[in-house]
């Protein structure tokens, strides 16, 4: 009987101790402020901010061009999945074949569809007419 | 005769006064003080991230400073809780769901998770980190977005003592 009382008193004492150790709580809420920079803002961001995006080529001709600077240097050029990849950006594609021929516009003739990964190709026109000129088109 | 009466009266008064000072009595008393030990935590400054879409390195937050003021000698612990309605003691670190406006994930921590009260304000801070390579979501022309409208941008620091 005495032993049971002793154990009970010990348990009560322990309960009281635990109660005094966790007397209360206090809390305060705070907010998270996030500023996300992308696109032109990222390209013109402060030095060392991490990313540069090429606005001149990106997605104009079916290519997605991404240039990552500083901490992760790489250049990625790839076709947009599922999109047609024309690869006709830049260059002068009008060739004059001498005084007896009219100008021929070759722009936009090369076209690739549904490509994946980095693509390199070229078209060669062998001209046997009077001046025998060769036009070379390289696209990616 | 009149002078004699006055002299007698003066003498009587003098003896009476002497009799009053003849003995003293004193009693001790105690001071009972009941001190209720308490702790309070101030509102942390907002935790701020500036992040560039798909950036190559992790971003570290600024802000988040707060103070704890506890009764001298009283031990306490600190925890974080996701959301504005806390329960329990919280956790030392927190990885909330991605912000529901800019769609960026982050983790939060504490500069320390326990202490002992000194009676004065003690400094702590909520720390934050945002992993690299997150594109985020931003449809604002010009490419700068804020999460001010996010409904899950509020969290809580919990002090238990």
How high is the ipTM of this complex? 0.80
Q: Is the pTM value of this prediction over 0.90? A: no
Q: Does the beta carbon of A33 lie under 8 angstroms from any beta carbon of chain B?
A: yes
Q: Which residue has the higher pLDDT, A104 or B66?
A: B66
Please tell me the total count of domains within chain B. 1
Q: Mind telling me how many Å the CA of B152 is from chain A's nearest CA?
A: 9
Residue B4 lies in a domain: no
Within a domain: B16: no
Q: Is B50 a member of any domain?
A: yes
Please tell me the predicted confidence (pLDDT) of residue A19.
37
Cα B16-B20-B26 angle, rounded to 5 deg: 175
Q: Would you say residue B13 lies in a domain?
A: no
Size of interface A-B (CB pairs under 8 A): 163
Q: What is the CATH number of the domain that holds B139?
A: 2.60.40
Both tokens of residue B122? 């003690």
- Contacting residues of B for A47, CB less than 8 Å apart: none
A28–B44 C-beta distance less than 8 A: yes
Which residues, in sequence order, are bridge partners of residue B145?
A36
pLDDT for residue A86 = 57
B114 found inside a domain: yes
Task: Read off the pLDDT of each residue in A7-12 and give the average, rounded to a whole number.
Answer: 42
Residues of the domain holding B71: 43-160
User: Could you give the CA distance from residue B55 to residue B95 in angstroms, rounded to a whole number?
Assistant: 20
Q: Searching chain A, which residue's CA lies closest to the CA of residue B40?
A: A26
Q: Residue B29: is its pLDDT beyond 90?
A: yes
pLDDT at A111: 39
pLDDT of A2 > 80? The answer is no
Record: contact A37-B135, CB cut-off 8 A: no
Of A44, A79, A67, A34, nearest in space to B137 by CA: A34
Strand partners, B146: A35
- DSSP assignment string, B47-59: EEEEEETT-SS-E
What's the mean pLDDT when you consider all of chain B? 88
A5 part of contact set with chain B, CB < 8 Å:
no
Residue B60: inside a domain: yes
Q: Answer whether residue B157 shows pLDDT above 70.
A: yes
What pLDDT, in 10s, does the model give residues A53-106?
A: 555 555 556 656 666 555 455 566 666 666 655 555 544 444 444 444 433 434
Which chain A residue shows the shortest CA-CA distance from B52?
A: A37
């Amino acid at each position: 009987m005495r032993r049971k009382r002793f154990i009970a008193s010990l348990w009560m004492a322990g309960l009281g101790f635990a109660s005094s150790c966790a007397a209360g709580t206090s809390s305060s809420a705070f907010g998270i402020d996030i500023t996300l920079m992308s696109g032109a803002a990222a390209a013109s961001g402060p030095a060392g901010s991490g990313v540069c995006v090429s606005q001149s080529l990106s997605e104009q001709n079916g290519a997605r061009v991404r240039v990552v600077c500083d901490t992760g240097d790489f250049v990625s050029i790839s076709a947009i999945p599922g999109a047609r990849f024309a690869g006709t950006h830049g260059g002068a594609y009008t060739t004059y074949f001498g005084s007896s021929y009219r100008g021929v516009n070759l722009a936009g003739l090369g076209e690739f569809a549904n490509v994946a990964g980095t693509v390199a190709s070229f078209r060669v026109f062998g001209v046997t007419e009077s001046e025998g000129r060769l036009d070379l088109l390289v696209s990616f | 005769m009149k002078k004699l009466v006055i002299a007698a009266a003066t003498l009587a008064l003098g003896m009476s006064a002497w009799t009053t000072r003849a003995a003293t009595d004193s009693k001790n008393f105690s001071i009972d003080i009941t001190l209720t030990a308490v702790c309070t935590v101030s509102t942390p400054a907002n935790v701020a991230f500036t992040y560039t879409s798909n950036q190559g390195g992790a971003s570290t937050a600024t802000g988040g400073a707060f103070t704890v003021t506890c009764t001298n000698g009283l031990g306490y612990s600190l925890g974080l809780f996701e959301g504005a309605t806390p329960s329990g003691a919280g956790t030392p670190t927190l990885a909330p769901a991605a912000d529901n406006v800019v769609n960026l994930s982050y983790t939060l921590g504490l500069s320390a998770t326990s202490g002992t009260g000194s009676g004065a304000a003690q400094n702590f801070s909520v720390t934050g980190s945002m992993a690299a390579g997150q594109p985020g979501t931003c449809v604002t022309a010009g490419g700068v977005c804020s999460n001010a409208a996010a409904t899950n941008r509020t969290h809580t620091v919990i002090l238990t003592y």
